[in-house]
Amino acid sequence: MYEFNYHKASSVSDAEQALRNASDGKIVAGGQTLLPTLKQRLASPSDLIDLGGCSELCGISVDGDTVTIGAMTTHAMVANSAEVQSAIPALAGLASNIGDAQVRNLGTIGGSIANNDPAADYPAACLGLGAVIVTDKREIVADDFFTGLFETALDEHEIITAIRFPKPEKACYQKFPNPASRYALVGVMVAKMSSGVRVAVTGAGADGVFRVDAFESALDGSFSASSLDIEMVHLPDLLEDIHGSPGYRENLIRVMGKRAVEACG
């Protein structure tokens, strides 16, 4: 680890100020990606600004058909929240399968989304459920938020404060874990929203999370697993690595998609 200045922010505005003052500052939320990266000397920020003291960023609330989750809410809190389990069980289920218990107790939804790892689970939840990402400056719809591998629409000094999920009629997330890392080799979120079906895929896309238009229109026509026995036109480039060829990942998108539809009931 290289040396850095450490700030424990007491509020979002305090954090934002510290970020502006730093020559190359970095926000640390749960630290489950950033800290290993620092330990491996793959990053050398001048300043780390810790959001752990910003109690305003932590918590879950349900208002009508909207579930709002504070950016610093841990995966374990989402997984174990009776409110989330009741409103969007697919989201609680997704959170309960991220990493291991240690990761879930420290890792946060805001950190995961800001990092936008192409194999992370939460981007599929945001895009699949059509979430709105709330920052200290504006609101960004998920469709505009995830812009590429580890890239988001966030500005340089912009901080995520909360994520708002609309409650689906039904939804399910099916994850096929990479055997080694247990990140998603392919993860598919299928959600039947009042506005139509959304299908988002993580783990597979060369540019990160994406929606599968062909699946969405097929499921809009008939919400059944057999509807997905169609050609997946307009798929983006898929990742290729030692764990999965593009062809295998394409197959898993279909298999996991069908399983998600079936599990939706």
Partner 1 sequence: MNDTGIGASVRRKEDFRFLTGQGTYTDDINRPGQTYGYILRSPVAHAKINGIDLAEAKAAPGVVAIFTGDDMQVGSIPCGWGVNNKDGSPMNEPPHPALAQGKVRHVGDQVAIVIAESYAEARAAAELIDVDYEELPAVADLATALDQSTLVHDEAPGNLCYDWEIGEEAQVNAIFESAHHVTSMDIVNNRLVPNAMEPRAAIGEYDSATGEYTLYTTSQNPHVIRLLMGAFVLQIPEHKLRVVAPDVGGGFGSKIFHYAEEAIVTWAAQKVRRPIKWRAERSESFLSDAHGRDHVTKAELALDQDGKFIGLRCYTKANMGAYLSTFSTCVPTYLHATLLAGVYTTPAIYCNVKAVFTNTVPVDAYRGAGRPEATYLLERLVDRAARETGMSQSEIRRKNFIPEDAFPYQTPVALQYDSGNYTATLDRAEELADVAGFQARRSEAASRGKLRGLGYSTYVEACGIAPSAVVGSLGARAGLFESANIRVHPTGSVTVYTGSHSHGQGHETTFAQLVSDSLGIPIENVDISHGDTNKVAFGMGTYGSRSLAVGGEAIMKALDKVITKSKKIAAHVLEADSADIEFKDGKFTVAGTDREMAFGDVALTAYVPHNFPHDELEPGLEEQAFYDPMNFTYPAGCHICEVEIDPDTGVVEVVAMTAMDDVGRVINPMIVEGQIHGGLAQGIGQALMEGARYDDDGQLLTGSYMDYCMPRADDLPDFKVGTTTTLCTHNSLGVKGCGEVGAIGSPPAVINAVVDALWDQGVRDIAMPATPNAVWNALNGAKTAMAAE
Q: Which residues have CB under 8 Å from 203's CB, separation 6+?
A: 118, 119, 175, 176, 178, 183, 184, 185, 186, 187, 239, 249
176 lines the binding site for partner 1 (CB under 8 A): yes
Q: What is the DSSP string of 143-178?
A: HHHEEETTEES--TT--EEEEEEEPPSEEEEEEEE-
Residue with tokens 């945001």: 126
CB 152 within 8 A of CB 144: no
Instruction: Identify the bridge partners of residue 146 per DSSP, sorted by sequence position.
Output: 152
Which of 53, 193, 251, 262 touches partner 1 by CB under 8 A?
Answer: 251
Please say whether the beta carbons of 45 and 34 come within 8 A.
no
Among 43, 83, 243, 250, binds partner 1 (CB under 8 A): 243
By the rule CB under 8 A, 255 interacts with partner 1: yes
Check residue 248 for interaction with partner 1 (CB under 8 A).
yes
Q: Does 231 bind partner 1 (CB under 8 A)?
A: no
**3-state class (DSSP) for residue 56:** helix
Least distance between partner 1 and beta carbon 136 (Å): 32
* Binding to partner 1 in span 38-67, by CB under 8 A: 40-41
Provide the minimum distance between the beta carbon of 238 and partner 1 in the complex, in angstroms, as a whole number: 13
- Residues 92-121: x where in contact with partner 1 by CB under 8 A, - otherwise, as a string: ------------------------------
SS3 187: strand
Output the smallest distance, CB 100 to partner 1, in A.
Answer: 10
Least distance between partner 1 and beta carbon 35 (Å): 15
Q: Tokens for 38?
A: 């620092």
Among 42, 64, 179, 229, binds partner 1 (CB under 8 A): 179
Residue 154 phi/psi, 5° resolution? Answer: -65, 140
Does position 232 interact with partner 1 (CB under 8 A)? The reply is no
Query: CB of residue 252 vs partner 1: minimum separation in angstroms?
Result: 7
Q: How far is the CB of 176 from partner 1 (least distance, A)?
A: 6
Q: How far lies 64's CA from each of 57, 83, 166, 187, in Å? A: 20, 12, 9, 28
Cβ neighbours of residue 249 under 8 Å, at least 6 residues apart? 185, 186, 203, 204, 238, 239
Among 1, 13, 137, 139, binds partner 1 (CB under 8 A): 1
Options 78, 129, 209, 252; binder of partner 1; rule CB under 8 A: 252
Contact flag: residue 4 with partner 1 (CB under 8 A): no
Query: Interface with partner 1 by CB under 8 A: which residues?
Result: 1-2, 40-41, 176, 179-181, 183, 241-245, 248, 251-252, 255
